[in-house]
A and B are shown apart, each in its own frame.
Chain A
């Protein structure tokens, strides 16, 4: 907390929020810039010729293409000039060329991004909702069988690799029970439109969402329970109880909002991990997002795509954190712009 007298905009709430927004925007821009520089360093630190790295290995780049890359990135120029060139390219939306797919990397990623956003957003909502509900329930029923069951489940899913959960889900729900589709985002060749297409996608979304979400559900359940118990031990709750307010009402009116807010904050910071998990989930379910793209790029040693996906995921995460910060500030005005 900064002492208020040090802030030039003290007492002026809208201005303070603008100030805060500005600070956060700059911070976010620096993170993205950092990733661009990191990518650049990786290309140069990688074993072998940077041009070959940019072309993608495994015999993908022919001589002409590599020569063209050398010229384009000025690889005979000093290193700092190469960095400037690289930065300039990225700033103008040029993330390189996927020789393997014969498409600019940016185009490839933009085409795949919506599928990943859909999957991660639905997994995020699923895990946050279920996690908070289970955590509140466990805290409310502390010490009972329900509490033990919920917490044991959380402990187990917190220790399970999510790609394995995905495979087991396919084994049970697709292969044995034949309830849910094991891969793809839409039924091939069905050509649904409107609501039918929406329903088809939702149907395909169930398994990937649940398997990606379960690890995070476990995490949020544990956090919510701990947070609830902490708030429940505070003085104002004791006061309410002493006044004779019914327990359910105390939980609803007093504990819940104080306990759940930190979980939301933590969850939004964790959004980056969700994108990481999407690489695994999309790989198992052949989900046509950037995670799957990253896996294919790995198999083909298509480094421009790999680095491009890395940059875009970082940008997405930074954006999500920014929005979460702002929302949090609106929901809880006690929070000062820290740093």
Chain B
């Protein structure tokens, strides 16, 4: 209860939650509202916004409904954002936990590995991965996960290192619990708050990365996405501004909402660290 009250203290965090709720609803209801595939032309080409009440956001050069594209694009953005973050968190937690708990050589080795992935340019690597393994929803999700886990690993390692020497963990060692069991049942539950905060902000970054990849033509060919719509609108910038403006606003609003939620979570879960970023 206190958690929610602290969260709700932030006007922005509530607004973020409301916006994300609407985007989620739109994503879920897309096939009901727009039963026709967003790839199919349904109206006259290049209708401006509000020119035809059937297509409030206009149509593109093939007569595809922009609004339908936005609804289906929300599915891809949210799906890839959440799943790639989940995968990244699993990788990051595993590596960070092992490094922080066992220390020594294992720690050294795993941290060098992490540093390597943190140093190389993330977006360039994502491009290379998706290009070589062909753009599918799986390869895009995995590529984003592969370039975004290092901060989680570092965070979890730090938490594990400091918790490892605490009495309740020592007690578990004395009782004879195994390493993995201590990590999972004793330490991990105590590191959840910062992991959740970091993960929420990672979803936003993942959505930005996904849209950038599909803007470059590295999107799944079977799924309509916001980045793809903007990429397709590039050559029509002069003739049809609405083709690129609306999908961009959709990305902006969604990412903004998730960032606001992340900040709200940060303040609600780490009250003593208010104002700390990242």
Q: Is B259 an interface residue (CB 8 A)?
A: yes
Are A167 and B251 CB-contacts (below 8 A) given A35-B120, A230-B275, A295-B216?
no
Q: How far is the CA of A121 from the CA of B116 in the complex (A)?
A: 23
Selected contact of A280 from candidates B129, B212, B255, B260, CB within 8 Å: B212
Taking a contact as CB atoms under 8 Å apart, the answer to whether A175 and B238 are in contact is: yes
Q: Mark A276-318, 1 if CB is under 8 A from B, else 0.
A: 1101100110000000001100110101001101100110011
Q: Which residues of B contact A168 (CB under 8 A)?
A: 244-245, 248
User: How would residues 54 to 83 of chain A score, 1 for a CB under 8 Å from any chain B CB and 0 otherwise?
Assistant: 000000000000000000000000000000
Say whether A167 contacts B234, CB under 8 Å: yes
Interface-side segment among B22-30, B61-69, B130-138, B192-200: B130-138
Cβ of B215 within 8 Å of any chain A Cβ, yes or no, is: yes
B42 interfacial contact with A, CB 8 Å: no
Other-chain contact of B217, A42, A273, A298 (Cβ < 8 Å): A298
Tell me the smallest distance from the CB of B144 to a CB of chain A, in Å.
Answer: 13
Minimal beta-carbon separation of B267 from chain A (angstroms): 13
Chain B interface, DSSP helix/strand/loop, else mixed:
helix
- How many contacts A-B (CB < 8 Å)? 136
Shortest Cβ gap from B182 to chain A (Å): 27
Q: Looking at the complex, which of A85-93, A95-103, A154-162, A186-194 is the stretch in contact with chain B? A: A154-162
- A167/B256 in contact, CB under 8 A: no
Q: Is the CB of B215 within 8 A of A318?
A: no
Closest to A280 in B: B212
Determine the chain B residues whose CB is within 8 A of the CB of A30 once the complex forms. 112, 116
Q: List chain A residues, Cβ under 8 A from B223.
A: none
Tell me if A's interface is mostly helix, strand, loop or mixed.
helix
B230 contacts partner chain A, Cβ-Cβ < 8 Å: yes
Bound-state Cα–Cα, A273 to B126, Å:
12
Convert A147-173 into 0s and 1s, putting 1 for each residue whose CB lies closer than 8 angstroms to a CB of B: 000000001101111111001101100
Complex partner residue of B275 from A158, A229, A294, CB under 8 angstroms: A229
What residues on A are CB-neighbors of B256 within 8 Å?
155-156, 159
Chain B, 211-249, CB within 8 A of any chain A CB: 211-212, 215-218, 227, 230, 233-234, 237-238, 241, 244-245, 248
Q: Does A159 lie within 8 Å of B121, measured CB to CB?
A: no
Of the candidates B124, B211, B212, the one whose C-beta lies within 8 Å of that of A310 is B124
Asked whether A42 lies within 8 Å of B132 as measured between CB atoms, the reply is yes
Q: How long is the Cα–Cα vector from A230 to B216 in the complex, in angstroms? A: 40
Bound Cα distance A34, B115 (Å): 11
Q: In the assembly, what is the distance between CA of A158 and CA of B257, in Å?
A: 12
Point out the residues of chain B lying under 8 angstroms from A226, CB to CB.
275-277
A298, B259: Cβ atoms closer than 8 Å: no
Known: A159-B259, A167-B234. A272 touches B121 (CB 8 A): yes
Instruction: Convert A4-39 into 0s and 1s, putting 1 for each residue whose CB lies closer than 8 angstroms to a CB of B.
Output: 000000000000000000000001001100110000
User: Is B252 on the interface with A (CB-CB < 8 A)?
Assistant: yes
Cβ of A178 to closest chain B Cβ, rounded Å? 12
Q: Name the contact of B119 in the complex, choosing from A158, A272, A277 (C-beta under 8 A).
A: A272
Chain A residues near B259: list those with CB within 8 A.
Answer: 155, 158-159
Task: Establish whether residues B128 and A42, one from each chain, have CB atoms under 8 Å apart when the complex forms.
Answer: yes
Residue in B closest to A294 when the chains form the complex, CB atoms: B127
The chain A residue with its CB closest to the CB of B237 is A171
* Total count of chain B residues near the partner, CB < 8 A: 44
Q: Which residue of B lies closest to A215 (CB)?
A: B208
Q: Is B119 a contact of A317 with CB atoms below 8 Å?
A: yes
The A-contacting residues of B in range 3-48, CB under 8 angstroms, are none
A314 to B125, CA, bound (A): 9
Q: Measured between C-beta atoms, what is the minimum distance from A297 to chain B in Å?
A: 8
Q: Do the beta carbons of A222 and B277 come within 8 Å of each other?
A: yes
Q: Which residue of A lies closest to B263 (CB)?
A: A155
Whether the Cβ atoms of A164 and B237 lie closer than 8 Å is: no
- Complex Cα–Cα for A164 and B231 (A): 9
A156-B256, A160-B252 given; A46·B215 CB < 8 A: no
Answer whether residue B122 sits at the interface, using C-beta atoms and an 8 A cutoff. Answer: yes
30 residue pairs of the A-B complex, CB under 8 angstroms, read A31-B119, A35-B120, A42-B128, A45-B133, A155-B256, A155-B259, A156-B256, A158-B259, A159-B208, A159-B252, A160-B248, A167-B234, A223-B277, A226-B275, A273-B122, A273-B123, A276-B122, A276-B124, A283-B216, A298-B127, A298-B131, A298-B218, A301-B131, A310-B128, A313-B124, A314-B119, A314-B120, A314-B124, A317-B120, A318-B119
> Contact residues of B with A, CB < 8 Å?
112, 115-116, 119-125, 127-129, 131-134, 204, 208, 211-212, 215-218, 227, 230, 233-234, 237-238, 241, 244-245, 248, 251-252, 255-256, 259-260, 275-277
Closest 9 A-B residue pairs measured CB to CB? Answer: A276-B123, A164-B248, A159-B256, A159-B255, A272-B121, A46-B132, A314-B120, A310-B128, A313-B124
Given A47-B133, A160-B255, A275-B121, 17 new contacts (CB under 8 A): A31-B119, A45-B133, A156-B252, A160-B248, A161-B248, A163-B212, A163-B230, A164-B251, A226-B275, A273-B121, A273-B123, A276-B122, A298-B127, A301-B131, A310-B125, A314-B119, A314-B121
